[in-house]
Amino acid sequence: MQVKAVKFGGSSLADPEQFKKVHEIISSDPTRRYVVASAPGKRFDSDTKVTDMLYACYDMAVAGLDFGAFFDGISARFDAIIDGLGIELDLSAEYESIKTSFRRGAGRDFAASRGEYLNAKILAEYLGYDMIDAAGVVFFRDDGSLDEKRTYTTLAAELRMHERAVIPGFYGSMPNYTIKTFSRGGSDVTGAIVARSANATIYENWTDVSGFLMADPRIVKSPLGIKTVTYRELRELSYMGAGVLHEDSVFPVRSAGIPINIRNTNRPEDPGTMIVAGTDVYDRDHVITGIAGKKDFSVIRIDKDRMAYQRGMLHRIVEILDYNGVHVEHLPSGIDTMSVVVHTNELSGKYDIITESISHAVNPDYIVIEDGLALIAVVGRGMVGSYGIASRVFEALAKAGINVRMIDQGACEINIIVGVAEQDFEAALRAIYAEFVKD
Ligand code: ASP
């Protein structure tokens, strides 16, 4: 039988009404057999996620404060879900045991993981599914990295023993049996691991938006949704700030050729965004897949006559930056000039030392560090081999009166990066979007 692995995010499991939607989604398709649950998220804008409450509560416990009343606020969130669903489940023994572990200093990761653990228990009971504790099937190594081989083998064997199951997201265990979590938003990663271990045909990631949009809706008014995006394109877009999915969730499924489908629990009729390993098919109306960007970059510009003929220069510059804890983001270069684009915050307090060290090492004719750069990535598999795309980007910017301070296009051709002054960022994004997506 076909298998789908489905993950529901915190907002999809925040209260009884959301649980009911989840029930409907799962029961409408019998192949949705393995379900990964997040902790209850926000029910409204000013609400607090249960994970954040657990961190705060544990901090109180470590500080020796009386955290009983605060913990009652957390258990009340779960009890309200149980009551609202009308299921027979009493978690009071679990609450007591968690409080005891807090007092014994079970760790912040353990504390945070209880949100997923308890919510998975409720969801399993409500759906009539088995529950598989992630602590026994997701394993980390001593250095904190995921032990993929052990995890996939153990989890695959466990899943074979369950026709249908709920698995809590976000955590696993260390070789010494303590609990460790992924970074924030890590239930996405668990979902991918489950999809891979179940050899699923698809990994559905249910959240509160209908997939990725072609541009940031806070900047571009009602941008179109992205129907299909490749993993490569997604990496480019998310690196530049297009959120929604935890970036590590791509790896387990990509190599296994399992597509990810981002779906909206509140609008299950929407097809969402499909993330696939590769496809030549692209949206011919728009050519590009999406636009994303970030502010707070700086450029270190280094000019030197006959630079192109000098060996080892780049190496020395990169070494100096590395030594000072500065990562190189982009390296657009000319014949006698080189620009190194870096994150401004990494330069803090180091402008002089970096300028001096580079001057000393490569004796440039001119060196300057300029802040206030924003980068915009125009991404699309449809750009490969088609001409005129770059000129459309620049024409759109020129028409909007925006000066392009830097250009970078990787040899893979799915990406053009332009640097503009920070104050032009929003206008530049809108101009590029309008060029490719006509009303
Ligand atoms: N509950 C965790 C968090 O808030 C993990 C997740 O929801 O994916 O980060």
The model's pLDDT over 22-37, given as tens digits with 9 standing for 90+, comes to 999 999 999 999 999 9
Distance of CA 369 from the midpoint of ligand 1 (Å): 38
| pLDDT of 243 over the 70 cut | no
Q: What is the DSSP letter of 428?
A: H
Q: What is the DSSP letter of 423?
A: G
Query: At residue 145, what are phi and psi to the nearest 5 degrees?
Result: -85, 160
For the chain, what is the radius of gyration of the CA atoms? 25
Ligand 1: which residue has its CA nearest to atom 6?
A: 185
CA dihedral 379, 380, 386, 389 (to 10 degrees): -40
Q: Does residue 275 sit in helix, strand or coil?
A: strand
Residue of higher predicted confidence among 383 and 67: 67
Residue 52 alpha carbon, nearest atom of ligand 1: 4
Which residues does a 6 A CB cutoff place in the pocket of ligand 1? 9-10, 38-39, 49, 51, 115, 169-170, 184-188
Question: Using N-to-C axis directions, what is the helix angle for 16-27 and 68-85, rounded to 10°?
Answer: 50
Which mutation among 11, 18, 49 tests ligand 1's pocket best, with the greatest number of atoms within 8 A of CB?
49
Tokens standing for 135? 């602590």
Residue 188 alpha carbon, nearest atom of ligand 1: 8
Distance of CA 37 from the midpoint of ligand 1 (Å): 10
Q: Which CATH number fits the domain 4-208, given the four candidates 3.40.710.10, 3.40.1160.10, 2.30.40.10, 3.40.718.10?
A: 3.40.1160.10
pLDDT at 5: 98
Q: Which CATH number fits the domain 290-436, given the four candidates 2.30.110.10, 3.40.50.12780, 3.30.1360.70, 3.30.2130.10?
A: 3.30.2130.10
Distance of CA 112 from the midpoint of ligand 1 (Å): 9
Q: Are 113 and 179 in contact (CB under 8 A)?
A: yes
- Report residue 240's pLDDT band, with 50, 70 and 90 as the boundaries: low
Alpha carbon 367 to its chain centroid, in Å, reads 36
Rounded Cα–Cα distance for residues 379 and 292 (Å): 8
β pairing state of 415-421 and 130-131 = unpaired
Distance of CA 182 from the midpoint of ligand 1 (Å): 9
Rounded Cα–Cα distance for residues 170 and 138 (Å): 10
Alpha carbon distance, N-terminus to C-terminus of the chain: 44
Ligand 1: which residue has its CA nearest to atom 5?
A: 185
Calculate mean pLDDT across residues 280-287: 75
Distance of CA 170 from the midpoint of ligand 1 (Å): 6
Residue of higher predicted confidence among 278 and 127: 127
pLDDT digits (tens, 9 = 90+) for 195-236: 999 999 999 999 998 888 999 888 999 999 999 999 888 888
Residue 116 alpha carbon, nearest atom of ligand 1: 1
Ligand 1: which residue has its CA nearest to atom 2?
A: 185
Rounded Cα–Cα distance for residues 364 and 98 (Å): 62
Own/partner pairs for 155-161, CB < 8 Å, 24+ apart?
155/193, 155/194, 155/197, 156/197, 156/198, 156/199, 158/132, 159/34, 159/132, 159/194, 159/197, 159/198
Residue 182 alpha carbon, nearest atom of ligand 1: 5
Which mutation among 38, 182, 208 tests ligand 1's pocket best, with the greatest number of atoms within 8 A of CB?
38
| pLDDT of 241 over the 70 cut | no
Distance of CA 412 from the midpoint of ligand 1 (Å): 34
Q: Could you give the C-alpha distances from 262 to 211, 227, 234, 255, 259, in angstroms and in order?
A: 5, 10, 12, 18, 10
> Residues of the chain with pLDDT > 90: what percent?
79
Question: Using N-to-C axis directions, what is the helix angle for 92-103 and 68-85, rounded to 10°?
Answer: 160
Q: How many CB atoms lie within 10 A of CB 305?
A: 12
Q: How many CB atoms lie within 10 A of CB 10?
A: 26
Ligand 1: which residue has its CA nearest to atom 8?
A: 185
Q: What is the pTM of this model?
A: 0.84
Distance of CA 285 from the midpoint of ligand 1 (Å): 37
**Residue ranges per domain, the chain?**
4-208, 290-436
Closest CA to 377 of 337, 335, 404, 408: 408
pLDDT at 411: 66
| pLDDT of 413 over the 90 cut | no
pLDDT digits (tens, 9 = 90+) for 30-77: 999 999 999 999 999 999 999 999 999 999 999 999 999 999 999 999
pLDDT at 227: 92
Rounded Cα–Cα distance for residues 27 and 204 (Å): 14
| pLDDT of 307 over the 90 cut | no
pLDDT digits (tens, 9 = 90+) for 327-382: 998 888 777 888 999 999 999 999 999 999 999 999 999 999 999 999 999 998 88
Which mutation among 8, 47, 114, 170 tests ligand 1's pocket best, with the greatest number of atoms within 8 A of CB?
170
Calculate mean pLDDT across residues 401-410: 87
Query: Which residue is associated with the tokens 């698809």?
Result: 202
Q: Give the mean pLDDT of the chain.
A: 93
pLDDT at 406: 85
Which mutation among 180, 187, 188 tests ligand 1's pocket best, with the greatest number of atoms within 8 A of CB?
187
> Residues of the chain with pLDDT > 70: what percent?
98
Rounded Cα–Cα distance for residues 196 and 428 (Å): 40
Residue 10 alpha carbon, nearest atom of ligand 1: 7
Q: Are 299 and 369 in contact (CB under 8 A)?
A: yes
Q: What is the DSSP letter of 248?
A: G
Spatial neighbors of 230 by CB under 8 A, at least 6 apart, are 275, 276, 277, 278, 279, 381
Which mutation among 77, 116, 193, 194 tests ligand 1's pocket best, with the greatest number of atoms within 8 A of CB?
116
Q: How many CB atoms lie within 10 A of CB 378?
A: 29
Q: Does residue 356 sit in helix, strand or coil?
A: helix
| pLDDT of 394 over the 80 cut | yes
Distance of CA 148 from the midpoint of ligand 1 (Å): 21
Tokens standing for 435? 């060029």
Distance of CA 257 from the midpoint of ligand 1 (Å): 25
Which mutation among 51, 182, 183, 245 tests ligand 1's pocket best, with the greatest number of atoms within 8 A of CB?
51
pLDDT at 242: 60
| pLDDT of 325 over the 90 cut | yes
| pLDDT of 117 over the 90 cut | yes
pLDDT at 306: 82
Burial of 289 (0-12, 13-18, 19+ CB in 10 A): buried
Tokens standing for 7? 């993950």
pLDDT at 330: 87
Distance of CA 111 from the midpoint of ligand 1 (Å): 12
